[in-house]
Amino acid sequence: MVEIGYLILGVVAGILSGLFGIGGGIVMVPSLLMIFNMNILDANATSLAAMLLPVGILGVLSYHKAGLINIKDSLWISGGLFLGSFVGGELAVNINESLLVKLYAAILLYIAIGYFDVLSYFKKNKDVKLADLDTDQQRPFWTYILVGIAAGIFAGLFGKGGGIIIVPLLIGLFNYDSKSAVATSLAALQLPVGLPSVVVYANSGHLNILFAAFIALGIFIGAFFGSKLGMKLPSNVFRKVFATFLVIVAIYMVSK
């Protein structure tokens, strides 16, 4: 039964969502393209709709109990996500699909390079570590809104939750610890921040509510287990696993 396939996909996406602080779209969209033979706009719409409900709430609660979530920052990011989502959706339905796929793959590779710290090997001060930086330094609220807007545009364009943008920015620009960045990102994605782009896709005839519902149920189940696994992984391993995952997805998208 095809609905079971969507449920299983949701569980896998939920595990990755809880593990990496992403919305799960990074695995949903390629899977919907490759396994379920959707076109990229239908896949984007289904992915975004599946993440409208707070399907990762169990993972958020696990991270909150561990004291890893900055609630205030996550709320500012959520506001930016909502604003950027509409722009991303409008761009997606009006852009060449082949170009959309290539842009997606290029961005994934860029983010993966950051996680592998490739550029650090060419810098003189290689001994400076994230743990040595001041992670408590306050930033203006609007900087978090801008992070959300950027992530929202990306999410609307590529059917992602936006966490794939939020997490690297929190780590690279705001000196967040990897796990705190994941936790705060996941919390920001629990509000219906992708609603504007979902409406845009639906109005263009690219949304299947039933498929999205089964995926959402799977994400709800998987996110809890993903967050538990994420808290056990060492931060350094955590970053490398995420980077490897991004490279694999990028290679698939280019070959596809």
The 10s digit of each residue's pLDDT in 48-74 is 999 898 878 878 888 899 899 999 999
Cα torsion 53, 56, 60, 62 to 10°: value is 140
Among residues 150, 197, 179, 182, the alpha carbon closest in space to that of 45 is found at 197
pTM over 0.95: no
Q: Is the pLDDT of residue 130 over 60?
A: no
The angle subtended at Cα 185 by Cα 120 and Cα 157, nearest 5°, is: 85
Residue % of the chain over a pLDDT of 70: 86
Q: Is 37 helix (H, G, I), strand (E, B) or coil?
A: coil
CB-based burial, 9-33: b 16+ in 10 Å, e otherwise: bbbbbbbbbbbbbbbbbbbbbbbbb
Tell me the per-residue pLDDT of 136-182, one tens digit each, with 9 for 90 and over.
457 899 999 999 999 999 889 888 778 878 988 998 889 998 889 98
Most confident of 10-24, 77-91, 93-107: 77-91
- Dist CA 246 CA 97 (whole Å): 20
- Buried b / exposed e along 126-141 (16+ C-beta atoms within 10 A): eeeeeeeeeeeeeeee
